[in-house]
Structure formats: C-alpha cells, structure tokens
Amino acid sequence: MLGNTLAVPSIYFDNNATTPVEPEVLEAMLPFLTQQFGNPSSAHSFGSTAAQAVARARAEVAALVGASSEQVFFCSSATEGINWALSARSGNIITSEVEHAATLKVTAEAAPLGGQLTRLRVDRAGQISLDALEERLKAGSSTVAMMWANNETGVVCPIEPVADLCERYGAQLHVDAVQAAGKLPIDFSQLPISSMVISSHKLFGPKGAAALIAREPAQVATLIWGGGQERNRRSGTENVPAIVGFGAACARAARFLHARAEGVQKLRDTLETAILERVPKTWVNGAGSTRLANTTNIGFESIDAETLAGLLDADGIAVSTGSACHANTLEPSHVIRAMTGSYQQASESVRFSLSHLNTREEVDAVVDAVCSAVAQLR
C-alpha cells in the first residue's frame, strides 16, 4: 500500500501546482478503467461506448470555456498544448516575463523562425503595460502569448484589452488559461483569442489530460502523425479515463464556479490578513492587482522561503516557493523577480494556493504554524 510508505501532508495549500481528483470525477472515470476499456477507434460497441464518452467530455470541456466541441483538441498536458500552439509560429512574437516555463521556452527555443522575441516587463503589481504592448504590435508582430492568470501570484491579466489590441493590429493571441479555468468565468466565443490551453489536473481532474482550444480548428497544425485521432492533428489512442475525468471535472467546475470562488476567497483573505497582522515585515506580491480568489503569495523579510516551506512541510503543511512545474530548481521564482526586481525578495516569497476543499480550521492551523516557524527562523 502506497499510503503506508509515503508521507501525505495533512493540509494541502498547493492547489496551483495540482489538485486532488474529486470523488465524483473518479467515479465517472472508473468504468473506463475497468469494464469500458474499449478503444474509441474500434467499430464494435466497446469502441463506440468509449468514443461517446470522449465526445461527451469534449462537450463538457468546451462548455466550461464557452467554446464549441469542434474547437477542442485533447492532449496530455498544458505544456504539450502550449508547445503545440506556439512551436510552429513564425514572425515576431510578444510574450511577458512572468509566463510559465512552457511559454518562455518554446517561444525562445522553438518558435521564432527568423522573427524577433519580445518579453514585456511587468510592474510591481505583476501587470504588463498595454502601451508597451501596443508599441510592439505597431512594429509588427504575428503572435502574442499571454497567461490569463499567474500561477505563482494569482495576478489576473486584463485579457480583454490585450485581445482587443491584438485584433486591432492583426496579431494572433494565444492564452495560457490553465490557472483561470475553473476559477474565473471564461467565454472563448466572445473574445478575439486565437488559441487557449487548459489543464485537467489544475481543476480537480486527473493528470494526463489537457486541451488546446482553437478558434479555427482547420488551421491547427498536425502534432503527431499516425492513426488520425483528434481529427488527424494528434494521433495515438486517446487516454479515455483521463479525458472522461477531465470532462467531469469541467462540468463540476462550471456548475460550482461562483460558489467555489466565493468560499475560497473568504479562506484566502482570512489567511492573508492573519499572516500580515501577526507576522511583522511581510508583504503580498501582486497586492495591487485583481488576483485569483484562491492564491496569495507572501514575502517574509529576511526569511529563506525554502527553509520556511520545509518547516511547514515537516508540520504536514504543503505550500510552495515557485512553480512546481519548474521541477527540481532551487532558483527563486522568475515571476517575483520580474515583479520586484529583487532576487532577495523572490527568495523570501511563499505561495499559498487554496481550494474549496480547504477549511477554516486548516487556515487557522497554517497561520499558527507560519507564525511559529518564522519566530524560530528569525
């Protein structure tokens, strides 16, 4: 039994890294891991049951973000989706300094076939300047890649004016909506966004499923050649249980979007206020911006964030100091560095990302644990 050998944190405040699979989602998946194991491409009834389940999941994913089923292309992770959307781009590309590593790397390494790459700076609140974006667009750019909400700070990008500017100057906008999906209302049909990516494991679905959502499905480049799955764009037998779980998670996220955001905001605000009040010399990264309701990124002056996170971990409390997707790096967050201009402040910052599954008792326990860990370290 895994549970006997692995230490499981009792308080999980790292939901921007990944989320647990909700019981209802697991229930929806189980038949496709057991009796309904068919291959969606098979002509018999095992196959058609699986194909119908994938089609239903596609509709559920589309509904969460106001897209149509035809616009949804399944893949294995948002990282894959971002690479899919951006690696074939030519011409000038504009992105920002605070993007996820997938966007930063694919635009730097794979995308600009002869084009120029611009990474817009952000201010202390984590926002790009729309004027700077417009200046670059005027100089001629074909692609803009921006995240809707930041994974480390929860800072929300004003995606509507960004999309309007891109439309005005004829640039294609690709949006990393991984942290926004399930937390903010998204209506793809109403915004001039050319492509968008969301990920199952960030919204209480399983790992191994994500979606690239494309305005013009016919223009999506072929990523993998083979048996013709995903309308010939990404061949390979579908991960049916994960896709079914992704769909079920999206359906629940759509249904409970507002209730979850309201509940988690109360918990996050209580946590943030209590830490700022009880621990001297603390600040909130991105405080000047609209932020996701579940996220707070707090700086603790003259405390090494890694050590603080380690002490909390020893107390059974899971938090993070950077992007979990940036595996095994001890470099302090590039996001906080870009916002504050300070390596020091980045190395003193801890992210707490909550969910509707957390409780007020957990918040109180985390505040107490943070207070005593900081007292011990200072």
Which residues sit at the interface with ligand PLP, rule CB under 6 A? 77-79, 100, 102, 147, 151, 176, 178-179, 199, 210, 323, 325
Q: Work out how close the CB of 90 gets to ligand PLP at its nearest, in angstroms, rounded to a whole number.
A: 23
Q: Work out how close the CB of 137 gets to ligand PLP at its nearest, in angstroms, rounded to a whole number.
A: 23
d(CA 58, CA 211): 9
Count of other CB atoms within 10 angstroms of residue 89 = 21
d(CA 28, CA 247): 9
Closest to ligand PLP by CB, 284 vs 325, is 325
Catalytic, 157? Answer no
d(CA 94, CA 77): 23
Q: Work out how close the CB of 260 gets to ligand PLP at its nearest, in angstroms, rounded to a whole number.
A: 18
Closest to ligand PLP by CB, 92 vs 323, is 323
The encoded tokens of residue 306 equal 């890694």
Q: Which of 65, 43, 289, 269 is nearest to 176 (CA)?
A: 65
Closest to ligand PLP by CB, 165 vs 178, is 178
Q: Work out how close the CB of 1 gets to ligand PLP at its nearest, in angstroms, rounded to a whole number.
A: 27
Closest to ligand PLP by CB, 77 vs 118, is 77
Q: Which of 75, 250, 325, 371 is catalytic?
A: 325
Closest to ligand PLP by CB, 177 vs 369, is 177
Q: How many helices (H) and strands (E) does the chain have?
A: 12, 12
Instruction: Give the three-state DSSP class for 60.
Output: helix
Containing 246, the helix (H) or strand (E) segment is helix 240-278
Q: Work out how close the CB of 259 gets to ligand PLP at its nearest, in angstroms, rounded to a whole number.
A: 23
- Could you tell me the end-to-end alpha-carbon distance of the chain, in angstroms, rounded to an integer? 40
The encoded tokens of residue 149 equal 């909400």
CB 30 within 8 A of CB 206: no
> Counting Cβ atoms within 10 Å, is residue 332 exposed (0-12), middle (13-18) or buried (19+)?
buried
Q: Work out how close the CB of 318 gets to ligand PLP at its nearest, in angstroms, rounded to a whole number.
A: 15
d(CA 22, CA 205): 7
Q: Are strands 317-318 and 11-12 parallel, antiparallel or unpaired?
A: parallel
Residue 260 has φ and ψ, to the nearest 5°, of -65, -45
> Counting Cβ atoms within 10 Å, is residue 225 exposed (0-12), middle (13-18) or buried (19+)?
exposed
Closest to ligand PLP by CB, 57 vs 102, is 102
Q: Work out how close the CB of 338 gets to ligand PLP at its nearest, in angstroms, rounded to a whole number.
A: 14
CB 335 within 8 A of CB 150: yes
| Residue 277, CB-side half-sphere exposure with 13 Å CA sphere | 8
Closest to ligand PLP by CB, 151 vs 289, is 151
Residues with active-site annotation: 325
